[in-house]
Amino acid sequence: MGFIEFFKEFFLGFWDYETPKIMVVKNRRLGVIYRAVQLLVITYFIWYVFISQKAYQDTETRPESSVYTEMRGMGMLGDSVRDTTEYVTPSEGGNVISTILQREVTYDQRQGKCAEHYNVPNANCTTDADCVKGELDFGGHGQRTGRCVSYYNYTFKTCEIRSWCPIEEFAAVREPALVEAINFTVFIKNAIHFPKFKVLRVNIKPRKPKKLLKCHYHSKTSPYCPVFRLGYIAEQAREKFSELCRTGGVIGVFINWKCDFDVDPSACIPSYSFRRLDLRRNLPSSGYHFRFAKYYYKDGEEYRSLIKAYGIRLDIIVHGHAGKFSLIPTIINTVTAMTSVGICSIICDWIMLTFIDKNEVYSERKFDDTSKESSPPAVTQLTISSYGSTHSDLSEGVPL
């Protein structure tokens, strides 16, 4: 029986219209707080969300990008000329390009037997018994032969190894740095595509390539000329060029496209920034170097020149962000803004009930305590009685 009654009540209650009651509190202090909080929320949405963050736009933050780089310049090393083929790697010119600034060359290495370097663990020896035959230490340079020999022209002895001889640490010759490199230029061409908006942008203006290679980048006077001096890049990255020549280094070239397609798309020009990416100076492993070898044959035997190259590596990193007006984000953010204004009442309710409502007058009126009423029908009565006037004015009888 009770079960049916419950459903009957629920069914009847379902067709009632419910509306919240509004309570007007005539309190100047609370009113000022309320309007101030409201102003703050509205300002935040209009100024920050809509004007600064452009919440009315649809955005694309992962554009497709392609980079082509080309290094130019020429230097003298003693009497020999160094051109791009010698100092630029890789020759393709992708988004990583490096210039060799200084080299350590170990000439005429060939497969043979020679003394191991004395800094390798267990390499120092006095007799053959100190060296284990066939041992291959990855920290060393080759396979031990089991003999103890004098370290090249020195008096102390180390274990003999089978390797490319002589070893680099003993025989390497450091060449002078390529000081002219400070005036070398790198041309960075970058094409970017925003698939959502179907816009393709390039960081150069289509014009005669001859003219393009003569200019230098300047953010105001020549923004369409992505030709940078290496000295300029080092300066922008706040690094000393002479220091970079000595240790080498990795510098990030950041191309930043921030485009607003609601205005003229031709205003979409990238900005460039430079920052050193490898470990800081003063650390033993800081800097950038790599090794390669040149092979040749002399009397039918294979020789190589081992080159340890110190240089500047440029990593070109492209960031893109584009926006255009779109109805859906505008609606979503407008609704969010309007809903957020409701936070003001929550804050003010809390202030009112916690700090201002000393005599608990407001809370008594705000929360109609149904448990004080005799029976549930009284609640219905209350709802009906307040139906015509949902505003109840609390100005009188409230001690402020």
Q: In this structure, what are the phi and psi dihedrals at residue 157, rounded to the nearest 5 degrees? A: -115, 150
Distance CA 373, CA 382 (A): 10
Q: Which of 6, 44, 47, 156 binds ligand NAG (CB under 6 A)?
A: 156
Closest-CA residue to 46 (of 326, 327, 261, 340): 340
Distance CA 204, CA 145 (A): 61
Q: Does 143 bind ligand NAG (CB under 6 A)?
A: no
Q: Whole-number minimum distance, CB 102 to ligand NAG, in Å?
A: 14
Residue 338: CB atoms within 10 A of its CB come to 11
Say how many residues touch ligand NAG, by CB under 6 A: 10
Q: Whole-number minimum distance, CB 234 to ligand NAG, in Å?
A: 13
Q: Whole-number minimum distance, CB 104 to ligand NAG, in Å?
A: 15
**What's 16's DSSP letter?**
-
Q: Which stretch binds ligand NAG (CB under 6 A): 87-95, 148-156, 368-376, 392-400?
A: 148-156
Distance CA 344, CA 31 (A): 11
Q: Whole-number minimum distance, CB 50 to ligand NAG, in Å?
A: 49
Cα end-to-end distance, the chain, whole Å: 53
Q: Does 286 bind ligand NAG (CB under 6 A)?
A: no
For strands 249-260 and 301-325, give the pairing. parallel
Q: Whole-number minimum distance, CB 62 to ligand NAG, in Å?
A: 39
Which token pair is 30? Answer: 């609370």
Q: Does 180 bind ligand NAG (CB under 6 A)?
A: yes
> What track of x and - describes contact with ligand NAG for positions 110 through 139 (by CB under 6 A)?
--------xx----x---------------
Could you tell me where the DSSP H helices lie in the chain? Answer: 2-14, 28-43, 84-87, 168-171, 209-212, 230-236, 241-247, 327-341, 343-351, 361-366, 376-385
Distance CA 356, CA 398 (A): 11
Q: Does 183 bind ligand NAG (CB under 6 A)?
A: yes
Is 196 annotated for ligand binding?
no
Is 127 annotated for ligand binding?
no
Q: Does 179 bind ligand NAG (CB under 6 A)?
A: yes
Q: Judged by CB, which is closer to ligand NAG: 19, or 126?
A: 126
Q: Whole-number minimum distance, CB 114 to ligand NAG, in Å?
A: 13
Q: Does 81 bind ligand NAG (CB under 6 A)?
A: no
Q: Which residues bind ligand NAG (CB under 6 A)?
A: 118-119, 124, 153-154, 156, 179-180, 182-183
